[in-house]
Chain A
Amino acid sequence: MTLKMQTMADKTEKLIIRLQNVIKIYKVGVERIHALDGISLELWENEYVAVMGPSGSGKSTLMNVLGCLDQATSGYYELDGQDTTKMSDAALARIRNERIGFVFQTFELLGRLSALKNVEMPLIYSRNGWWSRRKRAKNVLERVGLEDRIKHRPNQLSGGEKQRVAIARALVCNPSILLADEPTGNLDSKTSEGILKLFDQLHQEGQTIVIVTHEEHVARHAKRIIRMRDGLIHSDLPRDQDPAYKKVMQNVVREELE
């Protein structure tokens, strides 16, 4: 309810994602697994959302559907005002290219290519990024603070730097939404903080971000926390009203007082 009130107040903001009763069913043998069991969700421009939940709760499936890697079995999914439910493979590929940036837990950089070439890759497949790809890739690498690592290969970079390259790659096509799947899962806590700071910075620059995670300290950076269970949205609250967050903050305050 509070969310709705907030969005009502902020009518100038743009609706980026609208999910209505999205159901995703996998068939494993004769068994039918309801990975998503009727999800309805709205995401506005410049929101910073953390999707949380135990494994098997459907958060990865939600991520795949949001990222147009997978299509819902039924339901309605609108991205940037475009209905994606009836789109062809090629049209979905273009949506992924132009509107979505992926950040993966395992970075997924190509080891034989330099950081610059890795970042250029999405532009190779874009309609008009080909000729400016070097310049754009350089710019976005500067944006994530890697201007002196342009020629390095992934094996010459630290884990944090690799994830920065991956984030640069996700941003290079100016996506409407940045989807990060456990972006700090393979990083130590100090490096994680650096990456999360980068996300904060991007959010301040106006980027819409969705992070899938199961770590509370990661979710703490988001402004809105969606908790999933058994393919359903269990709670969807602004961060300050999220019970787990409140409890943690109370502990922090208490520790400070003591």
Chain B
Amino acid sequence: MIAVIRVSAAFLRLFYQSVYLALGQIWTNKTRSVLTTIGIVIGVASVTAVIAALTGLKAKVLTQVESFGTNTIFILPTRPDKGSMRHASWWTIRFLPEHFDDMLEHCPSVERFSRIAGIGRHTAHYREKSAENVEVTGIEAAYHEIQSRPVVLGRTFSVIDDMQVRPVCLIDPKLRDELRLDRDCIGQSIRIGHYAFRIVGVIERQPELQFGESGQEHYEVFIPFKTTFKMGRPWIAAFAASKGTEVTEEAQAEIRFFLRRTRNIRPGEPDTFRIESVKRFMETFNSIALMVTLVAGGIVGISLLVGGVGIMNIMLVSVSERTREIGLRKAVGAKKSAILTQFLIEAVVLCFIGGLVGVGIGQCLTLVISGINPVLELTYIPAWAILLSFGFAGSVGIFFGMFPAIKAARLDPIEALRHE
């Protein structure tokens, strides 16, 4: 017991001796210390900035994805890689409206679904004004809830709109402004192709993802699902929502089973459709984000290693130019361990200071990044990144400080005092 106390007291003494001496040394060589730590500063600053940017990107994407709802399922036709349908034309494998009939009854995990019918992009006209790139989509009532896009003005489509194939539409506010419609544009009519549609409501605009859409403005017009068939032959897909995130996979399985039957796919033949869930997308996105983080971390790790070599170099110079001092310290009673820890802690403290400054600069970079690009507005440095940077900087200090410290500790005092 007494031995334990004595050993720990000796250890403590060694530690504060070394910290005291190391800080004194760093303080007397300010310029050199600053230059030495630059490598570490840059390394840590870039680690934190890169991680912060990725975290921000992830947060942004996830909030947008979550606005769709994590229980959203997207169903679309696809050509299988093998089986008899692998050379089928897209037209043969298209969905027909009746494929989804009675789906809710057969799929207990599905809360609601909406077929959607795309008939491509058109030009919309109102008096002399026109807007290109207007995407016309036929939807059903459940669409608003599944996609979190409520009607902000006017009304949604009624059952009668759909049954009677009425020429009514919902438009997005940008299109309203582009066509110079009234702010309250309900009741006004726009022309799309050869068809006139009466506006019954304004739908909330899709949240912008910035990247992807290459500059060109695009607008959306929604019409009742059945009305699309008047305009041509639409391309049908469907959105569904499961009853909860935890049953999304069951819902997908049920839909798959149901659609294989309604589409008459024989057992053993591959699916001619794809069922995507936001959950799956999120998982994929997360794994990609992790990969990017690791790759960026690896690259930045190399820069920290380079910084570490700089530290080692300076420590070696320091040991050789302080040879006499080391000899003197040993002569007045410094043990090997005291010299070793002094130099080791000097290296580690240098690295830690570098880490501290690096995190500070990383924070500034993060602010700059989030200011420049709105996609990265949620950028912040997570606590684990700071801990990681410090841990890494400390390890670099220990790793690269060890060799010079051992060299110093092993000096023979007599030789060292004779050193010129």
Contacts and interface: CB of A to CB of B under 8 A. Distances in A.
B17 A124 contact: yes
A139 interface: no
A169 B17 contact: no
A89 B329 contact: no
B21 A124 contact: yes
A89 B331 CA distance: 12
Interface in A149-203: 169, 173
Contacts of B338: 93, 125
A32 interface: no
B324 interface: yes
A125 B332 contact: yes
B414 A102 contact: no
B17 A112 contact: no
A62 B20 CA distance: 34
A108 B414 CA distance: 13
Contacts of B335: 89-90, 93-94, 125
Contacts of A96: 330-333
Interface string B394-413: 00000000000000000001
B31 to A, nearest CB: 13
B336 A89 contact: yes
B334 interface: yes
Nearest to B337: A90
Contacts of B336: 89-90, 93
A130 B13 contact: yes
Interface residues of A, number: 26
Interface centre among A104, A112, A125 (most CB of B within 10 A): A125
B328 interface: yes
Given A90-B337, A108-B324, A127-B13, A122 B28 contact: no
A92 B21 CA distance: 22
Contacts of A67: 331
Given A69-B414, A90-B336, A102 B331 contact: yes
Contacts of B151: none
Given A69-B413, A108-B417, A125-B338, A93 B333 contact: yes
A38 to B, nearest CB: 21
B325 interface: yes
B74 to A, nearest CB: 70
Nearest to B336: A89
A69 B336 CA distance: 13
Nearest to B338: A125
Interface in B308-346: 324-325, 328-338
Contacts of B329: 121, 125
A77 B374 CA distance: 78
Given A104-B417, A108-B324, A108-B417, A97 B17 contact: no
B417 A97 contact: no
Nearest to B330: A93
Interface string B1-41: 00000000000010011001100000010000000000000
A249 interface: no
Give the interface centre of B28, B324, B328, B332 by most chain A CB atoms within 10 Å: B332
A216 interface: no
A98 interface: yes
Nearest to A94: B333
A130 B17 contact: yes
A110 interface: yes
Interface string A39-77: 000000000000000000000000010010110000000
B65 to A, nearest CB: 60
B333 A122 contact: yes
Nearest to B13: A130
A146 B30 CA distance: 30
Nearest to B16: A130
A98 B338 CA distance: 16
A94 B335 CA distance: 8
Interface of A: 64, 67, 69-70, 89-90, 93-98, 102, 104, 108, 110, 112, 121-122, 124-127, 130, 169, 173
25 contacts: A64-B414, A67-B331, A69-B330, A69-B413, A69-B414, A70-B414, A90-B336, A93-B333, A93-B338, A94-B335, A96-B330, A96-B331, A97-B334, A98-B333, A102-B331, A104-B417, A108-B324, A110-B325, A121-B332, A124-B20, A124-B21, A126-B333, A127-B13, A169-B332, A173-B333
Given A108-B331, A122-B332, A125-B333, 8 more contacts: A90-B336, A93-B334, A96-B331, A125-B329, A125-B338, A130-B16, A130-B17, A169-B332
